Protein backbone atom coordinates (compact mmCIF):
# COMPACT_ATOMS: atom_id res chain seq x y z
CA UNK A 1 0.00 0.00 0.00
CA UNK A 2 2.71 2.46 0.98
CA UNK A 3 4.38 2.24 -2.45
CA UNK A 4 1.23 3.46 -4.16
CA UNK A 5 0.17 7.10 -3.98
CA UNK A 6 -2.85 8.45 -2.17
CA UNK A 7 -5.12 10.45 -4.50
CA UNK A 8 -6.45 13.84 -3.38
CA UNK A 9 -9.18 15.43 -5.56
CA UNK A 10 -9.47 19.19 -5.02
CA UNK A 11 -13.24 19.17 -5.63
CA UNK A 12 -15.31 22.36 -5.80
CA UNK A 13 -13.04 25.15 -7.09
CA UNK A 14 -14.94 27.92 -5.31
CA UNK A 15 -14.16 26.71 -1.80
CA UNK A 16 -11.50 27.04 0.90
CA UNK A 17 -10.11 23.57 0.24
CA UNK A 18 -7.06 24.80 -1.73
CA UNK A 19 -6.21 27.10 1.20
CA UNK A 20 -6.58 24.20 3.64
CA UNK A 21 -4.38 21.94 1.49
CA UNK A 22 -1.66 24.61 1.31
CA UNK A 23 -1.77 25.04 5.11
CA UNK A 24 -1.43 21.29 5.64
CA UNK A 25 1.69 21.31 3.43
CA UNK A 26 3.13 24.33 5.23
CA UNK A 27 2.57 22.61 8.59
CA UNK A 28 4.85 19.81 7.32
CA UNK A 29 2.00 17.24 7.61
CA UNK A 30 2.34 16.10 4.00
CA UNK A 31 6.14 16.18 3.97
CA UNK A 32 6.23 13.82 6.96
CA UNK A 33 3.61 11.47 5.46
CA UNK A 34 5.30 8.33 4.12
CA UNK A 35 2.70 7.60 1.44
CA UNK A 36 3.16 9.84 -1.64
CA UNK A 37 0.19 12.12 -2.31
CA UNK A 38 -0.96 13.05 -5.81
CA UNK A 39 -3.41 15.93 -6.22
CA UNK A 40 -5.94 15.99 -9.05
CA UNK A 41 -7.25 19.43 -9.95
CA UNK A 42 -6.47 22.79 -11.51
CA UNK A 43 -2.79 23.76 -11.36
CA UNK A 44 -3.62 27.36 -12.24
CA UNK A 45 -6.23 27.63 -9.51
CA UNK A 46 -3.83 26.20 -6.92
CA UNK A 47 -1.14 28.70 -7.94
CA UNK A 48 -3.60 31.58 -7.77
CA UNK A 49 -4.69 30.58 -4.26
CA UNK A 50 -1.07 30.32 -3.17
CA UNK A 51 -0.33 33.79 -4.49
CA UNK A 52 -3.40 35.24 -2.78
CA UNK A 53 -2.34 33.74 0.56
CA UNK A 54 1.30 34.79 0.05
CA UNK A 55 2.59 31.20 0.17
CA UNK A 56 5.33 29.75 -2.00
CA UNK A 57 5.39 25.97 -2.39
CA UNK A 58 7.22 23.91 -4.99
CA UNK A 59 4.82 22.19 -7.41
CA UNK A 60 5.58 19.02 -9.35
CA UNK A 61 3.24 18.55 -12.37
CA UNK A 62 2.92 14.90 -13.41
CA UNK A 63 1.06 13.04 -16.17
CA UNK A 64 -1.45 10.24 -15.64
CA UNK A 65 0.73 7.82 -17.58
CA UNK A 66 3.74 8.59 -15.38
CA UNK A 67 2.14 7.92 -12.00
CA UNK A 68 3.73 4.46 -11.71
CA UNK A 69 6.94 5.42 -13.52
CA UNK A 70 7.92 8.68 -11.87
CA UNK A 71 9.49 8.76 -8.43
CA UNK A 72 7.00 10.77 -6.39
CA UNK A 73 7.72 12.17 -2.95
CA UNK A 74 6.06 14.71 -0.70
CA UNK A 75 8.77 17.37 -0.82
CA UNK A 76 6.58 19.18 -3.35
CA UNK A 77 2.90 19.24 -4.29
CA UNK A 78 2.48 16.54 -6.97
CA UNK A 79 -0.43 17.43 -9.22
CA UNK A 80 -2.20 16.01 -12.27
CA UNK A 81 -3.51 19.16 -13.90
CA UNK A 82 -7.17 19.32 -14.93
CA UNK A 83 -7.68 22.34 -17.17
CA UNK A 84 -10.32 24.71 -15.93
CA UNK A 85 -11.33 28.28 -16.74
CA UNK A 86 -11.78 29.33 -13.12
CA UNK A 87 -12.22 33.02 -14.04
CA UNK A 88 -15.75 32.26 -15.22
CA UNK A 89 -16.94 31.00 -11.83
CA UNK A 90 -14.60 32.53 -9.30
CA UNK A 91 -17.29 34.65 -7.67
CA UNK A 92 -19.77 31.91 -6.84
CA UNK A 93 -20.50 28.18 -6.85
CA UNK A 94 -22.28 27.16 -10.03
CA UNK A 95 -22.85 24.23 -12.38
CA UNK A 96 -20.13 25.63 -14.69
CA UNK A 97 -17.56 23.70 -12.68
CA UNK A 98 -19.38 20.36 -13.11
CA UNK A 99 -17.27 19.11 -16.03
CA UNK A 100 -14.07 20.00 -14.19
CA UNK A 101 -15.17 18.11 -11.05
CA UNK A 102 -16.37 15.16 -13.13
CA UNK A 103 -13.04 14.95 -15.01
CA UNK A 104 -11.14 15.06 -11.72
CA UNK A 105 -13.15 12.17 -10.27
CA UNK A 106 -12.89 10.19 -13.52
CA UNK A 107 -9.08 10.42 -13.42
CA UNK A 108 -9.03 9.38 -9.76
CA UNK A 109 -11.38 6.44 -10.35
CA UNK A 110 -9.33 5.32 -13.38
CA UNK A 111 -6.15 5.23 -11.26
CA UNK A 112 -7.92 3.39 -8.44
CA UNK A 113 -9.48 0.86 -10.81
CA UNK A 114 -6.04 0.13 -12.30
CA UNK A 115 -4.68 -0.38 -8.74
CA UNK A 116 -2.24 2.50 -9.25
CA UNK A 117 -3.34 4.27 -6.08
CA UNK A 118 -4.07 3.15 -2.50
CA UNK A 119 -7.04 5.37 -1.66
CA UNK A 120 -8.96 8.59 -2.22
CA UNK A 121 -9.46 11.84 -0.35
CA UNK A 122 -11.75 14.38 -1.95
CA UNK A 123 -12.44 18.00 -1.14
CA UNK A 124 -16.01 19.26 -0.62
CA UNK A 125 -18.53 19.21 -3.47
CA UNK A 126 -21.65 21.30 -3.98
CA UNK A 127 -24.53 18.82 -3.74
CA UNK A 128 -26.94 21.37 -5.19
CA UNK A 129 -24.97 22.02 -8.39
CA UNK A 130 -22.81 18.95 -9.03
CA UNK A 131 -25.02 16.15 -7.76
CA UNK A 132 -28.32 17.98 -8.33
CA UNK A 133 -31.20 15.55 -7.71
CA UNK A 134 -29.52 12.53 -9.25
CA UNK A 135 -27.51 11.56 -6.14
CA UNK A 136 -28.07 12.27 -2.45
CA UNK A 137 -24.34 12.75 -1.86
CA UNK A 138 -20.82 11.75 -2.90
CA UNK A 139 -21.34 8.43 -1.08
CA UNK A 140 -24.10 7.55 -3.57
CA UNK A 141 -22.22 9.09 -6.53
CA UNK A 142 -19.12 6.96 -5.94
CA UNK A 143 -21.26 3.88 -5.27
CA UNK A 144 -22.85 4.29 -8.70
CA UNK A 145 -19.53 5.05 -10.45
CA UNK A 146 -17.96 1.90 -8.99
CA UNK A 147 -21.07 -0.17 -9.83
CA UNK A 148 -21.91 -1.23 -6.28
CA UNK A 149 -25.14 -3.20 -5.95
CA UNK A 150 -25.89 -1.29 -2.74
CA UNK A 151 -24.83 2.20 -1.73
CA UNK A 152 -21.69 2.61 0.32
CA UNK A 153 -22.08 3.27 4.02
CA UNK A 154 -21.37 6.71 5.49
CA UNK A 155 -19.26 6.66 8.65
CA UNK A 156 -18.25 9.88 10.40
CA UNK A 157 -15.12 8.72 12.17
CA UNK A 158 -13.08 9.92 15.12
CA UNK A 159 -10.54 7.61 16.83
CA UNK A 160 -12.60 7.74 20.03
CA UNK A 161 -16.15 7.62 18.68
CA UNK A 162 -17.97 7.40 15.33
CA UNK A 163 -21.50 7.75 13.97
CA UNK A 164 -23.42 6.41 11.00
CA UNK A 165 -26.71 7.75 9.58
CA UNK A 166 -28.77 4.93 8.06
CA UNK A 167 -30.38 7.44 5.67
CA UNK A 168 -28.12 10.22 4.40
CA UNK A 169 -29.17 13.53 2.81
CA UNK A 170 -32.91 12.91 2.80
CA UNK A 171 -35.67 15.39 3.66
CA UNK A 172 -37.07 14.51 7.10
CA UNK A 173 -40.47 13.76 5.57
CA UNK A 174 -38.88 10.89 3.58
CA UNK A 175 -36.90 9.27 6.37
CA UNK A 176 -39.49 6.89 7.84
CA UNK A 177 -40.48 5.29 4.54
CA UNK A 178 -36.81 4.92 3.56
CA UNK A 179 -35.90 2.90 6.65
CA UNK A 180 -35.80 -0.89 6.71
CA UNK A 181 -34.37 -3.61 8.92
CA UNK A 182 -32.29 -4.81 5.96
CA UNK A 183 -30.67 -1.38 5.55
CA UNK A 184 -29.80 -1.15 9.25
CA UNK A 185 -28.38 -4.68 9.23
CA UNK A 186 -26.36 -4.03 6.05
CA UNK A 187 -24.82 -0.80 7.37
CA UNK A 188 -23.81 -2.31 10.70
CA UNK A 189 -22.33 -5.47 9.17
CA UNK A 190 -20.27 -3.35 6.73
CA UNK A 191 -18.97 -1.11 9.52
CA UNK A 192 -18.19 -4.11 11.72
CA UNK A 193 -16.19 -5.72 8.89
CA UNK A 194 -14.37 -2.44 8.20
CA UNK A 195 -13.31 -2.02 11.83
CA UNK A 196 -12.09 -5.61 12.15
CA UNK A 197 -10.26 -5.64 8.78
CA UNK A 198 -8.69 -2.18 8.84
CA UNK A 199 -8.54 -1.11 12.48
CA UNK A 200 -8.12 -4.48 14.21
CA UNK A 201 -11.06 -3.78 16.51
CA UNK A 202 -14.50 -5.32 17.07
CA UNK A 203 -16.78 -2.30 17.63
CA UNK A 204 -19.63 -1.94 20.12
CA UNK A 205 -22.69 -0.44 18.40
CA UNK A 206 -25.47 1.69 19.90
CA UNK A 207 -28.61 2.02 17.78
CA UNK A 208 -30.81 5.09 18.17
CA UNK A 209 -34.57 5.17 17.79
CA UNK A 210 -36.34 7.36 15.26
CA UNK A 211 -39.08 8.89 17.40
CA UNK A 212 -38.57 11.15 20.44
CA UNK A 213 -37.94 8.92 23.47
CA UNK A 214 -38.36 5.91 21.11
CA UNK A 215 -42.14 6.37 21.44
CA UNK A 216 -44.99 7.41 19.17
CA UNK A 217 -48.71 8.13 19.50
CA UNK A 218 -49.26 6.52 16.10
CA UNK A 219 -50.32 2.91 15.67
CA UNK A 220 -47.19 2.21 13.64
CA UNK A 221 -43.86 2.30 15.49
CA UNK A 222 -40.58 2.25 13.54
CA UNK A 223 -38.83 1.11 16.71
CA UNK A 224 -41.04 -2.00 17.04
CA UNK A 225 -41.40 -2.79 13.33
CA UNK A 226 -37.91 -1.99 11.96
CA UNK A 227 -35.25 -1.13 14.53
CA UNK A 228 -35.77 -3.79 17.21
CA UNK A 229 -36.01 -6.68 14.68
CA UNK A 230 -32.74 -5.46 13.11
CA UNK A 231 -30.99 -5.43 16.50
CA UNK A 232 -32.34 -8.91 17.30
CA UNK A 233 -31.04 -10.25 13.99
CA UNK A 234 -27.59 -8.68 14.52
CA UNK A 235 -27.33 -10.13 18.03
CA UNK A 236 -27.81 -13.59 16.50
CA UNK A 237 -24.86 -12.79 14.21
CA UNK A 238 -22.70 -12.12 17.30
CA UNK A 239 -22.49 -8.37 16.68
CA UNK A 240 -21.82 -6.31 19.82
CA UNK A 241 -24.90 -4.10 19.81
CA UNK A 242 -27.50 -2.50 22.05
CA UNK A 243 -30.56 -0.26 21.71
CA UNK A 244 -32.68 1.39 20.62
CA UNK A 245 -31.72 4.47 22.63
CA UNK A 246 -33.46 7.82 22.78
CA UNK A 247 -31.29 10.24 20.78
CA UNK A 248 -31.87 13.19 23.11
CA UNK A 249 -30.12 11.52 26.06
CA UNK A 250 -27.68 9.14 24.36
CA UNK A 251 -24.66 11.40 23.77
CA UNK A 252 -23.46 11.50 27.38
CA UNK A 253 -19.84 11.03 28.45
CA UNK A 254 -20.68 7.60 29.87
CA UNK A 255 -22.07 6.33 26.55
CA UNK A 256 -19.26 7.90 24.53
CA UNK A 257 -16.78 5.87 26.57
CA UNK A 258 -18.81 2.66 26.43
CA UNK A 259 -19.69 2.50 22.70
CA UNK A 260 -17.63 2.82 19.54
CA UNK A 261 -20.32 3.63 16.96
CA UNK A 262 -23.77 5.23 17.24
CA UNK A 263 -26.09 4.34 14.38
CA UNK A 264 -28.83 6.92 13.83
CA UNK A 265 -31.83 6.85 11.55
CA UNK A 266 -31.21 10.16 9.77
CA UNK A 267 -28.38 12.55 8.94
CA UNK A 268 -28.63 15.35 11.53
CA UNK A 269 -29.64 13.00 14.34
CA UNK A 270 -26.01 11.85 14.61
CA UNK A 271 -23.98 14.46 12.70
CA UNK A 272 -25.13 17.44 14.78
CA UNK A 273 -23.89 15.98 18.11
CA UNK A 274 -20.78 14.55 16.40
CA UNK A 275 -19.72 17.94 15.07
CA UNK A 276 -20.52 19.58 18.40
CA UNK A 277 -18.34 17.04 20.21
CA UNK A 278 -15.39 16.86 17.83
CA UNK A 279 -15.64 19.99 15.63
CA UNK A 280 -13.26 19.50 12.66
CA UNK A 281 -11.49 16.50 14.19
CA UNK A 282 -13.66 13.99 12.34
CA UNK A 283 -13.68 12.56 8.84
CA UNK A 284 -16.24 11.09 6.44
CA UNK A 285 -15.44 7.53 5.32
CA UNK A 286 -17.36 5.69 2.60
CA UNK A 287 -17.39 1.99 3.50
CA UNK A 288 -18.08 -0.71 0.90
CA UNK A 289 -16.23 0.78 -2.10
CA UNK A 290 -13.44 -1.20 -3.83
CA UNK A 291 -11.03 1.31 -2.24
CA UNK A 292 -10.95 3.46 0.89
CA UNK A 293 -12.45 6.90 0.37
CA UNK A 294 -12.20 9.65 2.97
CA UNK A 295 -13.24 13.28 2.93
CA UNK A 296 -12.86 16.09 5.45
CA UNK A 297 -16.06 16.60 7.42
CA UNK A 298 -16.76 20.16 6.29
CA UNK A 299 -18.37 21.92 3.34
CA UNK A 300 -17.15 24.39 0.73
CA UNK A 301 -17.18 27.31 3.22
CA UNK A 302 -16.99 29.72 0.27
CA UNK A 303 -17.70 32.77 2.45
CA UNK A 304 -14.23 32.33 3.98
CA UNK A 305 -12.29 32.22 0.69
CA UNK A 306 -9.16 34.38 0.76
CA UNK A 307 -9.40 35.19 4.49
CA UNK A 308 -6.74 32.66 5.53
CA UNK A 309 -8.81 31.60 8.55
CA UNK A 310 -10.02 28.10 7.58
CA UNK A 311 -9.22 25.25 9.96
CA UNK A 312 -7.21 22.42 8.30
CA UNK A 313 -7.74 19.89 11.11
CA UNK A 314 -10.22 17.67 9.25
CA UNK A 315 -7.90 17.29 6.25
CA UNK A 316 -5.02 16.52 8.64
CA UNK A 317 -7.22 13.85 10.26
CA UNK A 318 -8.11 12.47 6.79
CA UNK A 319 -4.46 12.09 5.80
CA UNK A 320 -3.42 10.67 9.18
CA UNK A 321 -6.21 8.09 9.02
CA UNK A 322 -4.31 6.21 6.31
CA UNK A 323 -1.50 5.67 8.81
CA UNK A 324 -3.87 3.58 10.96
CA UNK A 325 -4.78 1.11 8.24
CA UNK A 326 -3.45 -2.43 8.45
Residues 133 and 26 placed together within one structural domain of the fold: yes
Q: What pLDDT is stored for residue 302 in this prediction? A: 66
Q: Which domain holds residue 115?
A: 1-152+288-326
Q: What pLDDT is stored for residue 298 in this prediction? A: 67
Residues 161 and 108 placed together within one structural domain of the fold: no
Q: What pLDDT is stored for residue 13 in this prediction? A: 82
Instruction: Give me the sign of the Cα torsion angle 108, 111, 114, 117.
Output: negative
Cα–Cα distance between 111 and 320 in angstroms, integer? 21
Cα dihedral 121, 125, 131, 133, rounded to 10, equals 120
Residue 311 belongs to domain with CATH number: 3.40.718.10
Residues 2 and 133 placed together within one structural domain of the fold: yes
Residues 263 and 298 placed together within one structural domain of the fold: no
Q: What pLDDT is stored for residue 89 in this prediction? A: 47
Residues 211 and 72 placed together within one structural domain of the fold: no
Q: What pLDDT is stored for residue 90 in this prediction? A: 52
Work out how many domains the chain is built from and give that number.
2
Q: What pLDDT is stored for residue 108 in this prediction? A: 95
Residues 324 and 312 placed together within one structural domain of the fold: yes
Per-residue pLDDT of the chain (326 residues; tens, 9 = 90+): 457 899 999 988 887 788 888 888 888 888 888 888 999 999 988 888 888 878 888 889 998 887 876 778 888 899 999 988 766 545 666 677 788 889 999 999 999 999 999 999 998 887 776 766 677 788 888 888 998 888 889 999 999 999 999 999 888 999 999 999 999 999 999 999 999 999 999 999 999 999 999 988 888 999 999 999 999 999 999 999 999 999 999 999 999 999 999 999 999 999 999 999 988 788 999 999 999 999 986 665 666 666 666 778 888 888 889 887 76
What DSSP element (H or E) covers 241? Answer: strand 241-245
Residues 277 and 317 placed together within one structural domain of the fold: no
- DSSP for 249-294, written as a single string: HH-SHHHHHH-SEEEESSHHHHHHHHHHHHTTS-EEEEESSSSEEE
Amino acid sequence: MKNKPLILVLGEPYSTFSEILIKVFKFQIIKKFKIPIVIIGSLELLKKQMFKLNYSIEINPIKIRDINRTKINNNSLNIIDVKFNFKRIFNKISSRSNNYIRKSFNIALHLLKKKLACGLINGPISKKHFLKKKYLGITEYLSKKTQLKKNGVMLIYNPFFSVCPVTTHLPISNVSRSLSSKKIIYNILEINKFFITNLNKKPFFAVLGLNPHCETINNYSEENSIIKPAIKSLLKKKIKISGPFSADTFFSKKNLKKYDVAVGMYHDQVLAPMKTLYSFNAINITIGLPFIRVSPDHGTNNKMIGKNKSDPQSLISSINFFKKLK
